[in-house]
Amino acid sequence: MNITAVCPGSFDPVTLGHLDIIRRAAQMFERILVVVMSNTQKTATFSVAERCEMLKTVTAGIGNVEIESHGGLLADYAREKNAKAIVKGLRALSDFEYEFQMALTNKRLNPAADTVFLTASAENMYLSSSLVKQVGMMGGDIHDFVPECIYDNIMKKFAKSINY
Ligand code: PNS
């Protein structure tokens, strides 16, 4: 089978947790479309172009991964790409209810795509982009949270966006 899977997210910015899920998904499916989308519940710090650029940098070594962005619904994007799977990482129980709700909504909107949850690795269980932003913007060390190759980009952005 030749299955295209979509890995959607805000990726604001991409963390080691996201990268772990993308890598593992890339071993399970033939083609992975990592898609930067907007989450109406969040205000983004990085532009869509910046988020795509960081994702391209960190996934450069993974052959079957492509980076895209989409401003509309995930269900429509998956249909357009003929994707049969939507891959999401699940960290803690707290993620579950919201993710379950999104999975059921997406299934209703696009019955051809199923959501597949990958359990976050133990070392990334607590990681989130919001945590990276909180720590980084306050001058804390985020080396353990984000891929090294985008560390400088992230810190440069944070230096510009600190507001007291
Ligand atoms: O990284 P996030 O913020 O948890 O990702 C959430 C995201 C972007 C995947 C979700 O908000 C989404 O799917 N947005 C696209 C618009 C859409 O389809 N919304 C309805 C989801 S049921």
Choosing from 74, 98, 109, 115 the residue with most ligand 1 atoms within 8 A of its CB, the one to mutate for a pocket test is: 74
* Alpha carbon distance 52, 44 (integer Å): 13
| pLDDT recorded at residue 24 | 98
Query: Would you please indicate which residues are annotated as catalytic (active-site) residues?
Result: 18, 42, 91, 129
Place of tokens 């910015």: 13
| pLDDT recorded at residue 102 | 97
- Can you tell me whether residue 161 is helix, strand or coil? helix
| pLDDT recorded at residue 161 | 75
Please give the CATH number for the structural domain made up of 4-122.
Answer: 3.40.50.620
Least Cα distance to 113 among 42, 37, 33, 56 occurs for 33
Q: Which two tokens stand for residue 17?
A: 């947790």
| Mean predicted confidence (pLDDT) in 23-43 | 96
pLDDT tens profile 1-11: 899 999 999 99
38 CA → ligand 1 middle, Å? 6
Alpha-carbon radius of gyration of the chain = 15
- Can you tell me whether residue 71 is helix, strand or coil? coil
What predicted TM-score, i.e. pTM, was given to this entire model? 0.96
Give the residue, by CA position, lying nearest to ligand 1 atom 16.
73
* Alpha carbon distance 140, 134 (integer Å): 8
Give the residue, by CA position, lying nearest to ligand 1 atom 21.
102
